[in-house]
Structure 1
């Protein structure tokens, strides 16, 4: 009887030990590396990371500089998520490079604006003015749409900004004979003053002290804008239990308040 009792008691101890181990593992935070751009991206995700702790997440923002792509690192499994791009850019990257990635949530709208040290509005640009636009397809399209909306150029008939991107080849009329110069966004942000005007996205403009609402001479519309920034994960992680918690960490009142107070005029919440 004694031997049988000891065996049962030992079994109970092992079972209790297993319960404590499982509870301990469940209580450990889930470590997530999220690829972002520097500047405002770092600040927002610092706030989101604090919120994430309440959901059992340990969010580690990983900053990518220059032309390095968080999407490449995400696709290869070096990151669990990234949050630096808008939907058209994401769509082009997936189509061109075959990434197996999925959109899981919206973050904010980062309005593209034109800046100039020489002119106060785009309408002041003289004939033959040199105008810089980003050289990646999605942001170049955004810049061309602003030029169209401001009446400086027209685009081909039937162009649909929600489903396609515009290139220089899509310019139908350019009555002022603008010299449109393509360049990297990081280059335009740091040297826009060398051109008559240049289009700069907020993620790069903020790094050199530019504020679209304060310094821009024209910016894209906020309403019905297809260029909302998003959170992306690998397709295989789309239904992982930490995904909705990561999205909730960013789409929180704390992050919204930070955007609306500290980043007013630079970006707009999209949640």
Structure 2
């Protein structure tokens, strides 16, 4: 072999040696989300996973009723939009074989109003908007109780219903609707319970809240990453969870979404 061939061979060897080695075969993982804000949170995860040969593809859904169905049907590989109470209710009602593989954050549900500056200003006949799905409605009612708007019967559990209301501060008219639509009727109601992701999507801030959600003692409102139960040990999905539960994501929480997101894996 001549000197030129040796040099070329050596250069090729060192180029191959220096090239990044992917931990996984090139693949796409589809993740179901319910709000554009989540894409900002997932950005550092996508960047990290791309280095390892995994491309994250986001699939946006318009409301909470769709992502678990899409996951169960194989339309997405993971979803990251719900808390534990919601997932438990979905499994109980629909028989989904879906499981949590990692906690993400707690996002506040707060009370907002365009008409009053305090719950003490509520009057007879005022409308109060709450989400119409079981777990988020229950969360909203507990939030309203914490704010002094109503009292729930003892033993109502983690997901109380309107029928569990024992008393209200004044005679109120409760409006039930999809969680993603509540912000749009803020001008038409006296008070509304708004999920944090939809508040962010609409430009509302935590500081604008009339009343902020207190912390809870269990994992009911801790959000999560879910997959089909059969895929719970998938090493790529587990690596995605690991990449999510990182300082890079905490930095996004602190710089971009201060006041709404708190890491739940700490």
Shorter-chain TM range is: 0.7 to 0.9
When the two structures are superposed, what TM-score results if normalisation uses the length of structure 2? 0.86
Q: Distance in 2 between matches of 1:51 and 1:103?
A: 21
User: SS of the residue aligned with 2:111?
Assistant: strand
- Which of 111, 127, 147 pairs up with 2:108? 111
Shift of 1:205: 1.5
1:216 matches 2:213: no
Structure 2, unmatched stretches of 5+, are 1-20
Q: Report the number of matched residues.
A: 244
Of the three residues 241, 245, 262, the one matched with 1:251 is: 245
Asked if 1:227 corresponds to 2:224, the answer is no
Match of 2:144 in 1: 147
Which whole-Å CA distance do the structure 2 matches of 1:123 and 1:52 have between them? 50
Aligned with residue 96 of structure 2, among 96, 99, 110: 99
Name the TM-score, length of structure 1 as normaliser.
0.84
Quote the residue 1:70 is aligned against.
Answer: 67
Secondary structure at the counterpart of residue 132 of structure 1:
strand
Shift in CA distance, 128/56, structure 1 to aligned 2, threshold 3 Å: same
Structure 1: segments with no counterpart, 5+ residues? 1-23
* Cα 1:50–1:157 shift into 2, 3 Å: same
Q: Secondary structure at the match of 1:118?
A: coil
1:240 alignment counterpart: 234
1:193 shift after superposition:
1.6
Structure 1 residues 22-74: Cα deviation after superposition (integer angstroms, max 9, x where no partner): xx996533321111112211111122211222444221121112466111111
Output aligned runs, 1:117-128, within 5 Å.
117-128=114-125
1:143-193 CA distance string (max 9 Å, x none): 1001111222111112332xxx10001111224111111111122111212
Matched, 1:184 2:178: yes
C-alpha displacement of 1:80: 1.0
Instruction: Work out whether residues 123 and 171 of structure 2, in 8 Å CA contact, stay in contact via their aligned partners in 1.
Output: no
Bigger CA radius of gyration: 1
Runs of 4+ displaced beyond 6 Å? none
Secondary structure at 1:218's aligned position in 2?
coil
